[in-house]
Structure 1
Amino acid sequence: MNNELLILIKSIERNCHSQEIKLSDILRQCKSLGYKLNYIPLKTWVNYELIGYPEDIELPQYRIIDNVPLFGDLIGNHFGNIVTIKKTPIEVDPRILKEHIEILHRFPFRNNVANLQSMIDSANNQVLRFPLPQSILPYLETGYSDTSLVIAYRIISVNLIAGILDTIKTRILDFTLEIQDLQLDLEYDNSNTIDSIFKEFILKSPNIYYINTIHSVGSMNQNPGNFSVGGSVSGNVNNVQGDNNRAVQGDNNQAVLGDNNQVTQQNQVGADTGESLTKEDVVKLLAQLETLIQGAELPADTKEEVIEDLSAAKKATDKEEPNKQRALERLGTVAETLEKTSKGVEAGQKVWTIAKPIIVKVATWLGVAAGSHLLGL
């Protein structure tokens, strides 16, 4: 791993353990990391956390508080005296649609992290009040007769807001630890690894739409379906999304969204191709796969088998005149073994998610000269 990147990642990790470092400062470090890795979703997520989430942007689930209680302040006449009843639990008129009732009991925090911290610091007690609009008051019930509802509000514990900030910091920590645990050259190979780690440890969701739409098509980890490289592959297929898609001959075929698509020949001048990889690049990718397998919690016999095949593929590639046919055969065995393991071993799913795009990249390079081979990916 690049030494400058490693120093930055370790600094972020240390700061996540400190109570003295502001979360906004940690996020700015993450922004630097996003730029050094050239990984757009990380930069986008950090920006939203630093400046706040616009109304038209989907919120991560950790920023939404559900089952928020409703309270109100009442004023009424008690034997000729004006009385005020504060912090009275209130209910919503049952004639209102259920989904509208759920919205009233749900509070989304779109504020930036500095503003959330300010809420906590300025709280006079352990709860904060968030008023409801006056237009909703006629639809609220207090259970008291001869009283009027003056104001209604939601009450949220400051501990819940602190929990949002703590969740962000913990997810950043998990993200940095996982990157270090994989021990991959991220500066070289970020499109093949960071995407799955980011979604698993930061978002904990693969479906937040702004992340999927802004990410470049070069990230193979965004392939949620069955990716097949077959026939005579003589170009670089960047990203095919959907189920049962098949990529065939051509240079720099681009992303296709949907099911049962077939990508055919389409050349683009100036785009990155499998041919741009050198033999040294491919050997390095195979070595990364070995490192990944060695550190994975896979059955011992499976691990031994895969490492043996990877070692053979690396040796065949690293010859003065690479034996691409033999390397591709061994790589196909690796792909088959890892895919089977992913269906029966929990740790295997994670390994396959990371390994699959690397294997596709190597197979594409091998296929340029090897001619015809089928990898069941």
Structure 2
Amino acid sequence: MGLLAEIQNDAISDKVPVATLLRKVLVLASNLDSDVLEEWVRFEMNGYPRQAEVPQYRRIKMNFKVTGGNMAYQVTNAPLASAAVMVATGDNDISILKYRQAIGSIDVDEIKKAESLSVDMMNYAHFLPGKVTERSYSIHAFWGEIPASEILGIVEAVRNRVLDFVLSLKKRYPNAGEIDAISAKEASVEKVVTQIFNTTVQGNAGVIGTANNSTVNITANSGNLQDLRNQLTQYGVNDDDLDELAVALNEEPQISSDKKFGPKVGKWVGGMLSKAASGAWDVSMQAGGALLEKALLGYYGLDS
């Protein structure tokens, strides 16, 4: 059995630990000479360092609770509004746990026994009195709670992304049979592998809804057509389609305040989504819609 087939079978099987699966993907990344795939695998295997941005599937919303009180009143396991804690601490992301631990450290069997997990937040406790709690309160414990299922979701997200990547690679090279038949030295292969990585591993292939609720990582500078082209090229939009878009944008240089594209740009977007539906553009329709919306609104100088 070849490496691609092994990885596909291991990704499908819940009996194969995800850390074992990733070690095989590391070999695949080396064979493909893919730096982006190798970096992702190593981060998942060894943990994400502080300077590295964690993927969206590792960003988990916490609910805050506190135990404390004063001479007259005591509270135990009392919920706190996340917005109030955010204002008090001045940290807009304080309610988001960026889970950086190595995926092999996640004990699936143990976590399944728990309903929730706690994160000690006592280093922020001094912000609470007078802002979130009564000023006279002494804070005995302050923590964040996350559903245990969210941690298990990290394991499933990695497994699913590996499977999506391998299936997309086999779809792009259906006659290759095995990884040795794909020449990583060809520039076109490197470009395709990076594109597949961006649309599967990065999460864009699983985008649901509009761009403001997605994990699309794309930012086009306002009015900069070359920047827009460069960004969309990374996601597999070919030169002919980009040329058509340039013509449409030249004829429709502005967008209405309700963020509706003009007829020519809208027609181009519709054509790209048709390509996504047919497989001619190797992204899902949902991912493609979110991607194009975010990129084009950025070009027009609007937030998605």
Q: TM-score when scaled to structure 2? A: 0.61
Residues 53 and 111, structure 1, Cα contact 8 Å, conserved in 2: yes
Q: For 1:277-288, what aligned pairs fall within 5 Å after superposition?
A: none
Taking structure 1 as reference, are residues 77 and 106 closer, same or farther at Cα in structure 2, changes over 3 Å only? same
From the superposition, tell whether residues 22 and 198 of structure 1 become closer, same or farther in structure 2 (CA, over 3 Å): same
**Does the CA-based 8 Å contact 1:195-1:222 persist in structure 2?**
yes
2:262 aligned residue: none
For each residue in 1:334-362, what CA deviation from the matched residue of structure 2 results, as whole angstroms up to 9, or x when unmatched? Answer: xxxxxx988615252563579xxxxxxxx
Query: AA paired with 2:200?
Result: F
Cα distance, 1:223–1:123 mapped onto 2, change above 3 Å: closer
Alignment partner for residue 344 of structure 1, among 254, 258, 271? 271
Number of residue pairs matched by the alignment: 224
SS of structure 2 residue aligned to 1:103: coil
C-alpha distance after superposition, 1:262-289 (max 9, x if no partner): xxxxxxxxxxxxxxxxxxxxxxxxxxxx
2:90 to 100, 104, 112: 100
Report the equivalent of 1:222. Answer: 234
- Paired position in structure 1 for 2:202: 203
Q: Secondary structure at the match of 2:280?
A: helix
Letter in 2 for 1:36: N
Instruction: Indicate if the aligned counterparts of 2:236 and 2:282 stay in contact, CA closer than 8 A.
Output: no
Which string of whole-angstrom CA distances, capped at 9 and with x for unpartnered residues, describes residues 63-86 of structure 1? 1013x11001225445xxxx8643
The change in CA–CA distance for 1:34 and 1:226 in structure 2 (over 3 A counts) is: closer
Pair 1:156 & 2:156 matched: no
Contact 2:88 2:132 in 1 (8 A): no
Could you tell me which amino acid in structure 2 is paired with residue 69 of structure 1? N
- The residue aligned with 1:193 is 192
Find the counterpart in structure 1 of residue 171 from structure 2.
Answer: 181
Compute the displacement of 1:18 (Å).
1.5
Give the drift of 1:41: 0.7
* Distance in 2 separating the partners of 1:63 and 1:120: 19
- Does structure 2 conserve the Cα–Cα contact (< 8 Å) formed by 1:76 and 1:148? yes
2:76 to 62, 73, 86: 86
Matching residue's letter, 1:155: E
1:175–1:198: 8 Å Cα contact kept in structure 2?
yes
Verify the 8 A CA contact 1:127 1:157 in the aligned structure 2. Answer: yes
For 1:150 and 1:193, the matched residues in 2 are separated by 54
Aligned residue type for 2:161: R
Give 1:16 shift: 1.3
1:111 to 101, 110, 130: 101
Residue 130 (structure 1) aligned with residue 57 (structure 2): no
Contact 1:342 1:351 in 2 (8 A): no
The 3 A distance-change label for structure 1 pair 181 and 124 is closer
Alpha-carbon distance in 2 for matches of 1:106, 1:170 = 23
CA distance in 2, matches of 1:114, 1:44: 16
2-structure distance, mates of 1:49, 1:94:
33
Paired position in structure 1 for 2:258: none
TM-superposed deviation, 1:137:
3.0
SS in 2 for 1:55: coil
Residues 86 and 99 of structure 1: CA distance in aligned 2, closer, same or farther (over 3 Å): closer
Counterpart position of 1:56: 51
Q: Is the 2:86–2:93 contact (alpha carbons within 8 Å) kept by the matching residues of 1?
A: no
Task: Give the direction of change, closer, same or farther, for the CA distance of 1:33–1:162 in structure 2 (3 Å limit).
Answer: same
Gaps of 5+ in 1: 210-219, 229-242, 245-339, 355-377
